[in-house]
Structure 1
Amino acid sequence: MIDLDLEYGRLPAEDTDHFHRLDAHLVATEPLMTTLDNVEATIEAKAMMCAFGPAGCGKTMSVNSALRKLAPEHTYRLELRSGPTPRDIRHGLFHALGLPGEPPTRPIEFDTLLKETLAQTFRVLVCDEAQWMGRSSFEYWRHLWDDRKTDIAVIFAGGDNCYKVLKREPMLASRMFIWQKFQRMPEDEVVANVPASTRCGRAPTRRGSATSTALRRTATSATGPP
């Protein structure tokens, strides 16, 4: 399932990044800057990226922050819930892209519409909470990206299950240009960064601030199917 509202598909406002809505701002930590570099490389290559790790480690926040700087007008987000199917992804993309009229009822017509739309101009598609997806849903994203006419980069952000599902399937894993693993920030780094993050002198208690390790694919290019 996919939650839909009038703001669906857009990058959220920066002041919503922190789930506690604290009066704090982002600090340019090494993990945050690594995400910026990785997202930029993924966009330039028109490739696919997977940001994964435990809940609360800053995956969504880091990806959103990078995209606000790099491609705010070209980013379209899907936030998934409870075992989404390819049908859910089709409908989510239909609404995120702001397509007019009613969604097609037949999958082949729906896919044709989405591919034609995604071929018109470059877009960055972000699939948040990707840990809810199974093999068939990831395959659907690959189907869209593999099409020679679509002009897209795809970024998955999700829990460890996202990584496990992708790595089990060589056809899916081979499409990933960058794997970025998020981990909890050590306590000493949290303490060191608190003064720079708070505006009012009260320490934010962000659960699991992000640290990350980027694992780049050995291939030098991932702009299309091999």
Structure 2
Amino acid sequence: MISLGTQAGTVESPFTPEQQQRFDAGLDRAIARYPSERRKAALLAALHLAQDELGWLSEPAMAYVAFRLDVPPVRVREVATFYTMYRLRPVGRHHIGVCNSISCWAMGAEDVLRQCSEILGIRPGETSGDGHFSLEEVACLAACGGAPAVLVNNYAFFENVTADSLKALIRDLREQPGKAMAKGPLPRLPDPHARIESQSAPQATGTLGQPAVTTRAEAGSAEPKR
């Protein structure tokens, strides 16, 4: 852990040096999306970055985020406990989320959740004894066209899940060694200053059909069309 001195004492970073580098890079990008006087607006992103590294939000992690953004610790905890996507307890190496939206429910998500619970021997909100799996119901995954959908570790989507494909998924995950929560590609926040280089694929557009992502220089120097 890295100790950071403050007027109130010492704040311990919950990250390893490698995790710290990824967290810092992601936080810098998140903060850059807002005016300097509104850096606190990066709170949601900062909590996601911390959770991506640790698998959950411990008290030291929330205290560290509060320090980095100069936010009262109680405010960080209010946010972390309000949104269900933040986890306040340790999770397994493979954290499985089964979508419970109306589309997934209509297509059999309830059966998927029950089967997953039976195979793993745990209920939603629990972690297996070996630390390999944890299970939860999650809100809409925006995969209604591929319902029922499952999300593993916030990164891997699985759509049109059936009894057989679920068994195969869990079997494959069991074969992956280790107990720490598997990491995704970090930092995942896009660089707000990056210029879109390729137009080979469809992209989101902003006002009047212009690219939604521009450099800060472009945004500041653009002359309004008359």
Q: TM-score range by the shorter chain?
A: under 0.3
The structure in which a higher percent of residues are strand is 1
Query: Taking CA–CA contacts closer than 8 Å with sequence separation of 6 or more, which of the two structures ends up with the larger relative contact order?
Result: 1
Structure with higher Rg: it is 2
Report the TM-score when normalising by structure 2: 0.27
